[in-house]
Amino acid sequence: MTEVFVQRPMRKSLLPYGRQWIDERDVDSVVSALRGDFLTTGPLVPEFERKIAAKAGARYAVAFSNGTAALHAACYAAGIGPGDEVITTPMTFAASANCVLYQGGTPVFADIDERTYNIDPDAVERLITKRTKAIIPVDFTGQPADLSAIRRLADKYGLIVIEDAAHALGATYRSRPIGSVSDMTMFSLHPVKHITAGEGGVITTDSEEFHLKLLQFRNHGIVRDPILLENESPGRWYYEMQSLGFNYRLTDISAALAVSQLDKLDDFVARRKRIAQAYDHAFLEWEAIHTPYQEDTGDSSWHLYVIRLDLGKLNAGRDEIFERLYQLNIGVNLHYIPVYLHPHYQRLGYPQGLCKKAEELYSSMITLPLFPAMTDEDVEDVIHAVRLVVSQSMKSTIS
């Protein structure tokens, strides 16, 4: 069967793979923060924290200057230090593992499940040693990891679960909102993520101990609460730096944007889902394109739409197909280069071939544009371009 392609005019400009949605309410919210008394952490930061904690079904939320800082703080709160091992996935942004290095710990990479592309709990269990302190699962593309299996391992071996949910704000796992499942959960407020603050990050937790540690770490390790002081207070000016923290605070300007964006989260996720469904449908019968498999235990919030090419059926490689899509002004992307293949990790001694399934996925995957502000036309452009390039690359055509 040969498809006949109606000539479609080429896009005039590059369609990015992701971008923010900013409307007048966001602008008004930020402007009113600028006219207020606080520019740095003021009343809008705790307001945002209350709001996102409620949304994520957690007792506490602590906002940070970015998601990477939030992960660093979570590793600190979990007590990660030199000699400790933390197991994570290679199929993620480097920050999921870098946060362990910041604390002097050792990231250990467990391979992925070839269907969901999320960390494989059996691979995790094989890597647990006496030094293992925590697991950092990543809800890759917005699909929750196998969090029940990871919880069982954590309970069995006494580990802390820090979930990297940078892709998964608005997702659910066994009907529970992401943010309420793990010991600590991180969300990112980078502009390509579900909601943005320009830059920003959040940890949600139910633990009062973690909550206090996160607050302290975000603000230089400083404590002001009289009940928590180590020495007797000589006056109302007094505070103590009790641990080595950082300045990882979110500004009130950013929080104003985050508060306003959060009101739109449900609509954003719904729109992302509809676009993902349109892609699923469009590539259903295309043998050379594997659309993302979804477990029925979770409901993805669709940060990314990743297709896997069946390269055995194609006479062009992934890189060539990627390049041709880009030439058609479709801003495809690649998520991710397995973390340990980066030069910094190679120099630390992680061998190539460490996680075979992740490397195989990496060699055959492409991320298609997906963001709520895409028009139906944009979606059609992507579908058309992918069908065109893949059909031109098929090894044999049956007529």
Interface residue list for ligand PLP (CB under 6 A) = 66-68, 92-93, 95-96, 138, 164, 166-167, 188, 190, 201
Radius of gyration of the chain (CA): 22
Count of C-beta atoms within a 10 Å radius of residue 393 = 18
Please report how close the Cβ of residue 91 comes to ligand PLP at its closest, in angstroms. Answer: 9
| DSSP string for 79-130 | T--TT-EEEE-SSS-THHHHHHHHTT-EEEEPPBPTTT-SB-HHHHHHH--T
* Residue nearer to ligand PLP on the CB measure, 187 or 286: 187
In the complex, what is the shortest distance from the CB of residue 385 to ligand PLP, in angstroms, rounded to a whole number? 25
**For ligand PLP, the closer CB: 71 or 316:** 71
- Cβ burial, residue 240 (10 Å; 0-12/13-18/19+): middle
Look at phi and psi of residue 255 and say left if phi exceeds 0, alpha if psi is from -120 to 50, else beta: alpha
Q: Which is nearer to ligand PLP, 77 or 282 (CB)?
A: 77
265-282 and 376-392 are packed helices; what angle lies between their axes, rounded to 10 degrees? 30
193 is an active site residue = yes
From the candidates 193, 264, 356, 357, which is the catalytic residue? 193
Residues 6 or more apart in contact with residue 244 via CB below 8 angstroms: 221
* Rounded Cα–Cα distance for residues 376 and 116 (Å): 27
CB nearer to ligand PLP: pick between 185 and 219: 185
Min CB(94)–ligand PLP separation in Å: 8
Please spell the DSSP secondary structure of 318-343, one letter per residue: HHHHHHHHHHTTB--B-----GGGSH
Measuring CA to CA, which residue among 101, 122, 113 is closest to residue 143?
113
Contact 370, 276 (CB under 8 A): yes
Distance of alpha carbon 142 from alpha carbon 193, whole angstroms: 10
> Between residues 269 and 390, which has the closer beta carbon with respect to ligand PLP?
269
Nearer to ligand PLP, 55 or 194 (CB): 194
In the complex, which residue's CB is closest to ligand PLP?
67
Nearer to ligand PLP, 41 or 391 (CB): 41
Tokens representing 268 are: 């954003």
Residue 27 phi, psi (nearest 5): -60, -45
In terms of DSSP bridges, do strands 184-188 and 240-241 run parallel, antiparallel, or are they unpaired? unpaired
Q: What is the dihedral of CA 13, 16, 20, 23, to 10 degrees?
A: 20
Catalytic residues: 193
